[in-house]
Amino acid sequence: MPATVVAISVAVGDLVRAGSALVIIESMKMEHDVVAPMDGVVQRIHVAIQDVIASDQVLIEMEAAAIDAVADSAQETTTDRDAVRPDLAESIGRHAIGLDISRPEAVAKRRSTNSRTARENIHDLLDDDSFVEYAPLVVAAQRRRRSAEELAARTPADGLVGGVGTVDGVATVAVSYDYTVLAGTQGLWNHLKKDRLFDLAQRSQLPVVLFAEGGGGRPGDTDGLGVTGLDCLAFNYFARLSGLVPLVGIASGYCFAGNAALLGCCDVVIATRNSNVGMGGPAMIEGGGLGTYEPKAIGPSAEQFANGVIDVLVDDEVAAVGVAKRYLGYFNDPVENWVAADQRALRHAIPENRVRVYDVHGVIEGLCDVDSVLELRAGFARGMITAFGRVEGKTLGVVANNPAHLGGAIDSDCADKASRFLQLCDAFDVPVLFLCDTPGFMVGPESEATGAVRHVSRMFVTGANLTVPFATIVLRKGYGLGAQAMAGGSFKAPLFCVAWPTGEFGGMNIDGAVRLGMRRELDAIEDEAERAAAFNAMVERMYTVGKAVNVATHFEIDDVIDPADSRRWITTMLLNSANSARSVGQIRGKKRPFIDTW
């Protein structure tokens, strides 16, 4: 190439080793060595420093000659691979400023509230040495207010630690607001960091775990050119991930405004008991003229657990990270080492007395592999259980009526809870098992005032459009529209619809059906004892007609099975099915536009 000679390293008569630099030339601001092609002696030098040379010009003439190997080896130098050059030392030092070890006061403050730092949470979540952090050197956009030294020391990473690592070997995006930096507020640069990471999650289809502790938007940034910041893309990017990859949100401490908005977009929300979650913090509430409140009065965890905002409530951040890892595990490969409980115990899970209540959680735990069940939204809509579990190591979604609450009747909240969980399972190819024990949809003026007609119909619309395999086991009551909703809209919709021997069926609850249908006959009996005996006899006759073994003879259900055989049905007909759109290669990205946040 054409160049300029900037240095000549040899003189006439010098012995040089093949590969040694003879001349240094510069072209397009880059210096290049011209090296000896062989061992030899320099015979003639044709150029001088600052000469401009052509691409085919001869620079040095050499004559081949043997070089003493001993003398040559004595001239060799070795590079200390552990030596730290000044440029590397500067980078290492700058990174170290933001580490916990360099911020003892901030760490001590976290310890005083029994909290961990953002980096501690992320390193607990991710596998050892797997974290690759993005933009750790960014500082708050406040250069007009603070010195570079202060920004580096007090606003490391602009209050957002994020990057990519692995959770049990699966690549995962981890993002954590840092409450020790400007109260975990959302600044100019950390919004852009989220944009970068959320875009990466979309392109590579990586699950995201978000630690959302913080106070929302930050009013103190000075370096931006905008006015409101409402054109930031982070919320749009994150919301677009819904239905594409699993989204896990963790709240601990105060989580308000923008942080809460991101949390609410997540598929599952895990929160500690000391958390407060709200769409507006104290300043926003007071600024809106709505009164003055302490932070702990806004969205306490007990309240948010009961109203359905929080899916899983835990004691501390250690437990929260453990649940997050467990939840992500349901979307990975099957677990090889699984243990099943003694299935014979299921034969006695439902009392023989048909009006005696029981704990359906015990049925779910007994059906699934030991220690594999994770219930979601346990504090909300207690008449419906939604949980993930495993059967023979394979993930399964369970939707179960809870007879301990309103007899298992499905009210508006129960229908919303079940429908949203079905969307979650459908989006990520998780088969669904319905465990039916319901007298039907909840009725009455109070129920209708909740908009029940619209809410309960969600179960029909969602269930009828599931693309994943699903099945129904009727544990006891299978009455009316509610029972149909627990089977995708019809007993013929599931891959199988079977009952345990305790199953009983009808267009409505047997007792109610007798009171309504036989009212005239019962009213005609004047003696109360005689009327009660007649009522009980009518109920017994209708129960005989509607009990599982009789209904099966009319092929309205597929079979009445031994409860101990339930797992065999599940594994044979449900978990071995592979007819979802994604599993057969029809879809690589989303199956659903998004998963409803409610």
Question: What local confidence, expressed as pLDDT, does residue 580 receive?
Answer: 54
First to last CA, the chain: 66
Fold of 3-75: OB fold (Dihydrolipoamide Acetyltransferase, E2P) (2.40.50)
Angle at 580 between CA 574 and CA 583, to 5 degrees: 105
Question: What local confidence, expressed as pLDDT, does residue 43 receive?
Answer: 95
pLDDT above 90: percentage of residues in the chain: 76
**pLDDT class for 77, splitting at 50, 70, 90?**
low
Question: What local confidence, expressed as pLDDT, does residue 74 receive?
Answer: 43
- β strands within 94-230, DSSP E: 132-133, 160-167, 170-177, 185-186, 208-211, 216-217
Are the C-beta atoms of 194 and 160 separated by less than 8 Å?
yes
Angle at 476 between CA 470 and CA 479, to 5 degrees: 80
Question: What local confidence, expressed as pLDDT, does residue 217 receive?
Answer: 84
Question: What local confidence, expressed as pLDDT, does residue 67 receive?
Answer: 83
Question: What local confidence, expressed as pLDDT, does residue 284 receive?
Answer: 85
CA distance 341 to 335: 16
**Residue pLDDT, tens place only, 168-224:** 999 999 999 999 999 999 888 899 999 999 999 999 999 999 999 998 888 878 887
- Does 584 have pLDDT greater than 60? no
CA distance 345 to 362: 10
**Residue pLDDT, tens place only, 416-447:** 999 999 999 999 999 999 999 999 999 889 99
**Residue pLDDT, tens place only, 270-305:** 999 999 999 998 888 888 899 999 999 999 999 999
| DSSP assignment of 339-396 | ----GGGGGGSS-SSTT----HHHHHHHHSPTT--EEESTTS-TTEEEEEEEETTEEE
What is the rounded average pLDDT for all residues in the chain? 91
Q: What is the mean pLDDT of residues 42-71?
A: 89
Q: What is the mean pLDDT of residues 504-530?
A: 79
**pLDDT class for 320, splitting at 50, 70, 90?**
very high
508 vs 244, higher pLDDT: 244
* Helix 317-329, helix 118-125: angle, nearest 10: 30
CATH architecture entry for 343-503+547-575: Alpha-Beta Complex (3.90)
* Helix 528-546, helix 510-517: angle, nearest 10: 120
Kindly report which listed range (67-71, 211-215, 476-480) carries the lowest average pLDDT score: 67-71
CATH class for the domain made up of 87-329: alpha beta
What's 54's DSSP letter? -
